[in-house]
Amino acid sequence: MLHPRRSASNAVPTRCMRAHAMVGLVLILSLLPSFALASSPPQFVIVHLDAVAGVDLDRSMAAGHLPNLSRIFADGLAFDAVTTFLPATPVIYSRLHDRADDFALRGISFGGLDRDSDRVVARPEVVRRLLATFPRRALTATLHGATDLDSFAGLAMLNLPDLLERYGTVELFWFSTDLAGHLFGREGHEASLRRFDAHLGRALDRLDLETVNVVLYTDHGMTFSTETFDVDAFVDERLGDAIRYFHYPNVYLHDPTRAPELARRVAEDEGLDFAFYRTADGAVEGYLDDAFLRFEQQGDTIRYVADGDPLGYAAWGYDGAWLTRDEWVALTVRAHYPATPVVIVDYLDERHAGDLVVGINPPRNPHHNPHVSFSTGSHWGLVQTDLAVKVLARGPDVEPLREQGLGRLQDLHARLPALTFGRQPERELHQVTLRWRFDEARPSARLQLSPAYRARLGLDLAVDQGAAWAEYDVFSTYLMRWWLGAGATLDADGVAPMARVEVEFDVAETRLRFEASVRPGGWQLGVGASYRVAPGFRLALDAPLGVGASYEW
């Protein structure tokens, strides 16, 4: 709490201060609406684990390297599913949340050609628009994806009880596995996965898992290899002037009718591993390892025909039948090319997809930039370690998954009818705080009341001074909140305007608080810490010599 220096002039009479305090309190209370208690919807923790193939998660759990995941989901549900092609976070996350059919919001890659506006969309815009769809308080999760910063993601998990109480559904993101796999290969990837298991275990142990639903999914896989191939240079050399624009895996052509001819051309060369295009009759045709394939659609079913069996599905019992998407996944999710008819047909159904979709499979990694090369791991192909993922679930409201099953990862949220996003509290917590300053031998009090979410009104009272203000939450993460406000101070010199900023940093029961205020004649700082000793009750220490207690409701 901020305490201006005492004025050398006479103190404001106590009665006057009391009168001003009462007036301020009445004004604050008059702005507060009445709140009705609403029944709380089911609580969900949705855990986004980045870049972990289903087989790798299974292997690590079986080896005992992930004891917390094994323990937490021992009696839960487990599904082998397929992610989207392109197996990348912007693509699958936009489909999980069924984003609008806008190029940047419903990603197809990290760049491409927006057919609506006929303009090139570059990687920075795709990333920026993706982040705009993340939960507001989860935006810094991408920064925590750096391997040296992922401990902050773990600290944020410790705030799950408070976050769930306020928001009902909380999305946690662990991106460190992706960057570690790209930069440091399998060893770095597995080390990040073990850190994730330790952090998540500590966090979930703070919850009542009999009442809270926990759903974990890996968003795409990671294939480890050090062999690279310059796809951009190859496509430019082989297709040349026919290309209007290329951004892996999408080739946009000046003349889309040439797609069959150009797909055949690149298939005949030893360069790309696959090339697909949409035909005039609505089918998808293309080449995989020089073999011709055709995927035909009939209602909600797909049939696969080919020269030979380049996908190897006969070994899994495929006999040419029409299968639904779930049936395709159930049959082939463990195959080398899991559910290729599904992921390719779905991808070419996207309006902004290229006229020709091309790519390579492991062990080669696409090498896009001569100055930056992720050569130890990638996830750009059609193989199992790119596309086959894992979903783990437990809780009282995940039973619809048991009944319906799960094939495509993008259907996960839709098959949990009790899952809701976007809930927010009606207001912030009210708080009253009493403090004693040993260095000044005087008491003080603070009252904070909230008229609405992200807004607070405050009143500071001391023996001979006071302050009142309004503030707004301008930036928040799962760990901290930044409040910006303005108000007025009252002391023996009269009333003066004031601007203030407050930062709260929360980890589990502990809160660190930093305040700064600017007023005519100077600025002042306040630093403090508090610990929640019981629901709603905190004990506080203020620098340099202050103690206090507060109650929140």
pLDDT, tens digit (0-9, with 9 covering 90-100), for 472-490: 999 999 999 999 999 999 9
Is pLDDT above 60 for 360?
A: yes
Give 315's DSSP letter.
Answer: G
Q: Is the pLDDT of residue 549 over 90?
A: yes
Q: Are 252 and 354 in contact (CB under 8 A)?
A: yes
> Per residue in 265-316, pLDDT tens?
988 888 899 999 999 999 999 999 889 999 999 999 999 999 899 999 999 9
* pLDDT (mean) for 160-164: 97
| pLDDT class of 145 with cuts at 50, 70, 90 | confident
pLDDT band at 11 (very low <50, low <70, confident <90, very high): very low
pLDDT at 6 over 70: no
Provide the token pair at 324: 């639904």
pLDDT tens per residue across span 175-231 = 999 999 998 999 999 999 999 999 999 999 999 999 999 999 999 999 998 888 899
* pLDDT value at residue 31: 47
pTM of the model: 0.90
Residue partners of 366: CB distance under 8 A and separation at least 6: 228, 229, 231, 248, 359, 360, 378, 380
Residue 208 burial class via C-beta count within 10 angstroms: exposed 0-12, middle 13-18, buried 19 and up: exposed
* pLDDT value, residue 105: 56
Count the Cβ atoms, other than its own, within 10 Å of residue 12: 19
Give the three-state DSSP class for 46. Answer: strand
Predicted confidence at residue 146, as pLDDT, reads: 84
Burial 235-274 (b: 16+ CB within 10 A, else e): beebbeebbeebbbbbbbbeeeebbeebbeebbeeebbbb
Instruction: Determine contact, residues 489/2, Cβ cutoff 8 Å.
Output: no
Q: Are 401 and 392 in contact (CB under 8 A)?
A: no
Domains of the chain in start order, with CATH, are: 16-35+426-552 (2.40.160), 44-97+133-225+380-415 (3.40.720.10), 227-372 (no CATH)
Burial class of residue 525 (count of CB atoms within 10 Å of its CB; 0-12, 13-18, 19+)? exposed
- Block residue for tokens 């060369």: 269
Confidence at residue 2, expressed as pLDDT on a 0 to 100 scale: 43
The tens digit of pLDDT for each residue in 395-443 reads 999 999 999 999 999 999 999 999 999 999 999 999 999 999 888 888 9
- Give residue-wise pLDDT tens across range 367-376: 654 444 456 8
